[in-house]
Chain A
Amino acid sequence: MTDPDYTQCAEDHQCLLVVVKPLGSISKGNFSCVFDKISSVEQATLQESHRATWIRYKQYYPPENNDWGDFQAHRRVVGLIAVAESCDSQELSQIFESFDGLRGEYGTSLYNWRMFVFGLTGEVVDQNRTDVDFVSDYEQLGGITRTVEEFTSSLFIVLESKRLDRASEKAGDKMPLLCVPFEKKDFVGLDTDSRNYRKRCQGRMRKHVGDLNLQAGLLHEALVNYHIAVETLRSINDFLWLAAALEGLCVASVVSHYGTTCRTTKARHQGASTQAEKEKRSRAGMQEVLIDPGSLTTNGIGGDPSLEIGRAKNCLSPDDIVEKYREAISFYGKYQQAAVIELEACIKAVRVLAVQKKRSEAADFLQNAIYIHVDVTEDERIQRYSVLSELYEQIGFRRKAAFFKRISAMQCVRAALPEPGWKACYELLLDTLQGYNLSLDNPQSSTESHHGWPAVQLRILHELVYSSQRMGNPALSVHHLTFLLHSMLDFLSEQEKKEVSQILEKYAANCRGHSTALEIREGLQVQPIALSKLPIIRSMKIINLPPNLRPVKLKSGDGLSTPISSSSPFIYSPIVVQQRREQRANQIDFQWVQGDVCEVQLMVYNPMPFELRVENMGLITSGVEFESLPAALSLPAESGLYPVTLVGVPKIPGPVTITGYHTEVFGIPSRCMLQNLSHCKVMCSTVDVVPALPLTQLTTSLPRCSGLIAPSTLGDVCCNVVVRLFNGETQKVSVQLENIGKQPVESIELDVTYSQQQRDSGTCRVTWDTQELQKLIPLQPGSLVDLTLSIHANFDFSNTDGSFTEMQDGEGIVRRNVSFLTLVTLYNPFFIPATWRKGDIVVTQVVRLSVRPSGHQHL
């Protein structure tokens, strides 16, 4: 016997097997429609009784399996339905011929047969074949259901008659010996009158009657018959049939304990098992269904309290079921030719045990099933391991399920195969990921809580990448390789890191990484992986504008320094709202200016042992529009903390929040959001952008000072010029002011800061003409104006202490200075004087002139 049926479950013993075959030129789609319709008739009832029998439908069934129909009644094909499509009468005769041929294949086991022919209309319909139904088109499938119901009822009737025939045989009658195909030659020439032989016949027949009873829905009788058969066969050591009788006993007990709640609609195609079916199997039959006597499908006893007693007497307890199954399978194991039976029995037992939640026993049976040697084709082997894996999944052994799925995936692409099935391999490998604690949706990125066995996970991921590459889907292989690099970065050795990056670059050169959700298979989508570890961001800080470009809030005109945040009507209140220290520390107290280049500093770290090239690194922001200017950088191997400055230009005033950054590494673009990064410290990520302010430049034709440079107290940009004056002299200095920004300058304020000394002695005065100044504004962009400043020197030489220092050169000549150099420091040659009005608050920036004595002396 070939072709183990992996979808069998214990309840199949109750079913009558009907084969549905396509004939002629019918298309696959149409045939499956019709098949679905036919299969919807799952039960057949008799008119008189309340009993029902179950029907199961198959599309492929090898006729040699039919020969085992004596051994186990559910293996025999009792009904044949053919579905054909035809357009003309010539084809029809061919179809009839093939139908008869089919019938011949299944020999005498058929109880009844039917054929549906689609597509023919009126004139050819007058056939005198009663077993053929002509249906004009595919819309009338409802009529088919009725026909099928009648058909199945007829099957049931035949079954009943056979059962009653057999049941009425007495123990003393001569009965034929039922055999399995490989036994036939063993019994040739045996003495048919010996006691042993007769007992054998009786035992086997009893078992067969039990089968028929089970199919007919008479559980009680079935149990009784099986018990008798077991005892008879055990006494003569007829192991094969004894095993079959034990199995029948187990099945009948399972049905009576769990009812038929374990039944699900079988998959249309042999061996396939859908997700929904798996769920149904695991949901249904969770607890033992206590049979309500009134709702039993058995007849003849129904409602009779003796049923309960009968049940208790003959039915096996759940533990006994396991025992008997174990015994049966060990007996099957003695017969090499019964390997398929043994395998199917193991699988059925495991399904029962899964319902009973007996995981270790189920694992035992499965372990046994692995080593049953069945001569199978390559496809079969793949299917076998897949089914094993599914069964392990059913009993909750995820790791074992993943293991066997992987084995079946490897079988798909064995070197010996002419055409390796890479797609199938890929699909199977995808299913194993869950068992290895990998989830494509959710890459783990921290070492502390890494789940799973890293070496095993790496291997599986590599295999996934390879199979997706061979399958011809480069986008998938890029995604999976990125996933590998990201989630297993900490577990790769240096050499592996190099290799994986090189391979990734090579793959990405062909197919760029995706930036939207990628569909791996139907119903499964994955988001692009954000490579947040290449490079690792340790901290992010928003940098203030350079000091000369910072906007400054002007105090409001009346001189009262009102706090910025006060909008209440109270002028003074003793209650001061305390802001928490860290909030204050975290808040940014500067603003950015629209249209100006603003910076954010990141401290990054390169974990790779080679130089990492990062392209297209920029900021992702939310809030107002912010144009981020990407940068490319190259980080040295295993660098320490490396500062990186990312710049951008805010386009619109308002609050800007830095939410993340994007990079392109090895050709893979990735967008990392700061909130997802646990290792990144961010002080504050929101900054206000004020509207554009004008930009001016101050130049002068005065000579620069090459010597002493005044210390700049505020860190401002400054330009030091030198003016030489004689005492009493007034010199006019011309300073050019150019508006190099895009906004007009609305007001200019000049403020001169004297050093302390100068203020006291009043030695130097700088004045300008305010009228002239007022005429200059508004200063349009691009225009250049002149400012004239008058510097007047007035030194009091009569005061000889302190201001002078006597200097002696080598000759001891005391020199006195007659003039002194005045260092005039013009602060902020680039500044932004302007007004920005927001209510009463005016923001501007001022230019400062600072005058200091030089202290130089010369004659």
Chain B
Amino acid sequence: MGTFYFAIVGHHDNPVFEMEFASQNKTDTKEDYRHLNQFIAHAALDLVDEQMWTTNNMYLKMVDKFNEWFVSAFVTATLSYLHATHMRFVMLHDVRHEDGIKNFFNDVYELYIKFAMNPFYEPDTLIRSTAFERKAQFLGRKHLTA
């Protein structure tokens, strides 16, 4: 199907969570690709910042493209009690898969909200939770690479 690189980016351009999804036939993700993906995702943040004001939706669809990679984005809503406003979810993918990506974003958003409601979790910091990772992996398998 395709390879997907997902990242949740905080307010200071710092990645709070990163994960890759690849379908079974793709063997391995080389380190180089990982680095390049990070560069592309970082560069796409400009466009995400620009486009999030043009629409009321959280899902921004495809915001950028570089070589064979497409970048889709999702921006979380403003929730005053959470202080986790405008976290940017960025997805790099090499095949168009809008529906799957949209559903994935919505589910991960829910997962993220529940995680961020933990008062011991400081927003904008790295998410270190095996439960979160497992669930995210499950969602990726369900929506993206299934």
* A363-B44 Cα distance, complex, nearest whole Å: 11
One of A360, A436, A450 near B42 (C-beta < 8 A) = A436
Residues of B with C-beta under 8 A to A437: 12-13
Q: Mark A440-461, 1 if CB is under 8 A from B, else 0.
A: 0000000001111111100100
One of B12, B38, B54, B65 near A456 (C-beta < 8 A) = B38
Residues of B with C-beta under 8 A to A76: none
Q: Mark B27-67, 1 if CB is under 8 A from A, else 0.
A: 00000000100111011011100110010000000001100
Cross-chain contact B35 with A360 (CB below 8 angstroms): no
Chain B, interface size category, equals 10 to 19
Cross-chain contact B13 with A452 (CB below 8 angstroms): yes
Interface: B23 (CB within 8 A): no
Cross-chain contact A363 with B39 (CB below 8 angstroms): no
* A360-B50 Cα distance, complex, nearest whole Å: 7
Of A198-206, A321-329, A393-401, A772-780, which stretch is located at the interface? A393-401
Cross-chain contact A399 with B35 (CB below 8 angstroms): no
Residues of B with C-beta under 8 A to A451: 12-14
Interface: B15 (CB within 8 A): yes
Minimum CB–CB distance from B58 to chain A (whole Å) comes to 18
Interface: A510 (CB within 8 A): no
Residues of A with C-beta under 8 A to B40: 403
Residues of B with C-beta under 8 A to A453: 9, 13-15, 38, 42
With A437-B12, A451-B13, A453-B14: A406-B39 Cβ-Cβ less than 8 Å: yes
Minimum CB–CB distance from A353 to chain B (whole Å) comes to 13
Interface: A367 (CB within 8 A): yes
Cross-chain contact A455 with B38 (CB below 8 angstroms): yes
Cross-chain contact A359 with B35 (CB below 8 angstroms): no
Q: Mark A765-796, 1 if CB is under 8 A from B, else 0.
A: 00000000000000000000000000000000
Interface: A737 (CB within 8 A): no
Residues of A with C-beta under 8 A to B47: 360, 363, 397, 400
* A608-B58 Cα distance, complex, nearest whole Å: 43
Cross-chain contact B13 with A397 (CB below 8 angstroms): no
Cross-chain contact B35 with A459 (CB below 8 angstroms): yes
Cross-chain contact B35 with A455 (CB below 8 angstroms): yes
Minimum CB–CB distance from B60 to chain A (whole Å) comes to 12
Residues of A with C-beta under 8 A to B9: 453
Chain B residue, CB-CB nearest to A404: B43
* A454-B51 Cα distance, complex, nearest whole Å: 25
Q: Mark A396-436, 1 if CB is under 8 A from B, else 0.
A: 01111011001000000000000000000000000000001
Cross-chain contact B42 with A399 (CB below 8 angstroms): yes
Q: Mark B80-103, 1 if CB is under 8 A from A, else 0.
A: 000000000000000000000000
Interface residues on chain A, number (Cβ under 8 Å)? 23
One of A359, A360, A400, A454 near B43 (C-beta < 8 A) = A400
With A360-B50, A363-B50, A455-B38: A402-B43 Cβ-Cβ less than 8 Å: yes
Minimum CB–CB distance from B7 to chain A (whole Å) comes to 9
Chain B residue, CB-CB nearest to A392: B46
Residues of A with C-beta under 8 A to B14: 450-454
* A116-B9 Cα distance, complex, nearest whole Å: 62
One of B12, B46, B54 near A398 (C-beta < 8 A) = B46
Minimum CB–CB distance from B92 to chain A (whole Å) comes to 14
Residues of B with C-beta under 8 A to A398: 46
Cross-chain contact B38 with A399 (CB below 8 angstroms): no
* A452-B45 Cα distance, complex, nearest whole Å: 12
Cross-chain contact A456 with B51 (CB below 8 angstroms): no
Chain B residue, CB-CB nearest to A459: B35
Minimum CB–CB distance from A186 to chain B (whole Å) comes to 34
One of B12, B46, B54 near A397 (C-beta < 8 A) = B46
With A363-B47, A398-B46: A403-B39 Cβ-Cβ less than 8 Å: yes
* A392-B43 Cα distance, complex, nearest whole Å: 11
Interfacial residues of chain A within 828-849, with CB under 8 A of chain B in the complex: none
Residues of A with C-beta under 8 A to B54: 360
Residues of B with C-beta under 8 A to A456: 35, 38-39, 42
Cross-chain contact B50 with A403 (CB below 8 angstroms): no
Cross-chain contact B12 with A360 (CB below 8 angstroms): no
Interfacial residues of chain A within 348-394, with CB under 8 A of chain B in the complex: 359-360, 363, 367, 392
Chain A residue, CB-CB nearest to B40: A403
Residues of A with C-beta under 8 A to B12: 437, 449-452
Minimum CB–CB distance from A12 to chain B (whole Å) comes to 28
Cross-chain contact A399 with B65 (CB below 8 angstroms): no
Residues of B with C-beta under 8 A to A359: 50
Q: Mark A452-490, 1 if CB is under 8 A from B, else 0.
A: 111110010000000000000000000000000000000
Minimum CB–CB distance from B39 to chain A (whole Å) comes to 6
With A360-B51, A406-B39, A453-B38: A400-B15 Cβ-Cβ less than 8 Å: no
Residues of B with C-beta under 8 A to A402: 43
Chain A residue, CB-CB nearest to B48: A399
Residues of A with C-beta under 8 A to B45: 399
* A367-B35 Cα distance, complex, nearest whole Å: 22
Cross-chain contact B65 with A403 (CB below 8 angstroms): no
Residues of A with C-beta under 8 A to B38: 453, 455-456, 459
Residues of B with C-beta under 8 A to A450: 12, 14
Chain B residue, CB-CB nearest to A460: B39
Residues of B with C-beta under 8 A to A399: 13, 42-43, 45-46
Q: Mark B1-22, 1 if CB is under 8 A from A, else 0.
A: 0000000010011110000000
- Residues of B whose CB lies within 8 Å of any CB of A are 9, 12-15, 35, 38-40, 42-43, 45-47, 50-51, 54, 64-65
Known: A403-B40, A451-B13. 18 other contacts (CB 8 A): A359-B50, A363-B47, A399-B13, A399-B43, A400-B43, A400-B47, A403-B39, A403-B43, A450-B14, A453-B14, A453-B15, A453-B38, A454-B14, A455-B15, A455-B35, A456-B35, A456-B38, A459-B35
- Residues of A whose CB lies within 8 Å of any CB of B are 359-360, 363, 367, 392, 397-400, 402-403, 406, 436-437, 449-456, 459
Q: Nearest 9 pairs between A and B by C-beta?
A: A403-B43, A397-B46, A451-B12, A399-B46, A400-B43, A400-B46, A399-B43, A453-B42, A456-B38
Report 5 cross-chain contacts, Cβ distance below 8 Å, ordered by A residue.
Answer: A360-B50, A400-B46, A403-B43, A451-B14, A455-B15
